Structure 1
Amino acid sequence: MGETTRVTDKGQTTIPKDLRERYGIEPGDEVEWIGTEDGLAVKKRSRLGGYGSFADGVDESDRERLVDKLESDLYESRRTEWSVE
C-alpha cells in the first residue's frame, strides 16, 4: 500500500524518507507529477532531461558522470570568465 502525506497551503508535500532512500531522491532532485486515468504518478526526473538526445544509448551511471562533468566544466568556465583579476 502507499504512504500518505499532507499538502501544505503552498501546495508542498514531503516525500517519505523510505521512498526517497529507495529511489535515490536527494535534495535538489526534480520529480515529475504525471496525471493518469487512476490519479497521480510521481517520477524522479533524470538529471539529463535538459541535455537532449545526445546522451541516448548511454547507461545511467555514465549519464550521471557525464552530467557531473558538464556541470563542473560549466561552473569552472563561468567562474573563470567572471573572476576579477
Structure 2
Amino acid sequence: MSTENETDGETTRITRKGQVTIPKELREEFGLQEGDEIRWEKTEDGIRVRKATRSSGRGMLVDEDVSTGKREEMAEELEAEIHEKRRTEWQP
C-alpha cells in the first residue's frame, strides 16, 4: 500500500481484500489503536470515516439498578480484555 501526500490529505490504496491502512499521523492524532472500531458513514459528499464512540452500547446487558459509575467500570474492564485478546490473537 502506498501513500501519497496531497494538499487536502493523504491517500491509501484498497487491497484485494477491501482493506485500507489509516496513515500513522492520523492514527496518532485521533488516538486510533489496534482493535478500535471505525464507523463508515455515507454522506451527500461521499464517505466519512469516524472512530466509533466508546460509549456506544455500554450497559445494554446490565441491570437497570447498576450505577453509572459501575457500568463505566465494567465497560472499561471488558474493553481492556477485548483489546488484550485481539492483541494476542493478531500477533504472528
TM-score normalised by length of structure 2: 0.59
* Amino-acid identity (%): 46
- What corresponds to 1:68 in structure 2? 76
Q: 2:35 aligns with which of 12, 15, 28?
A: 28
Equivalent runs, 1:1-85 vs 2, <5 Å? 1-51=8-58, 66=73, 67-69=75-77, 71=78
Structure 1: stretches of 5+ with no match in the other structure: 76-85
Name the one with the larger helix percent.
Answer: 1
Tell me by how many angstroms 1:52 deviates.
5.4
Tell me by how many angstroms 1:19 deviates.
0.2
Q: Which segments of structure 1 move beyond 3 Å, counting only runs of 4 or more?
A: none
CA RMSD, Structure 1 to Structure 2 (Å): 2.9
How many corresponding residue pairs? 65
Mapped to 2, the partners of 1:4 and 1:52 lie a distance apart of 37
Structure 2: stretches of 5+ with no match in the other structure: 1-7, 83-92
TM-score normalised by length of structure 1: 0.63
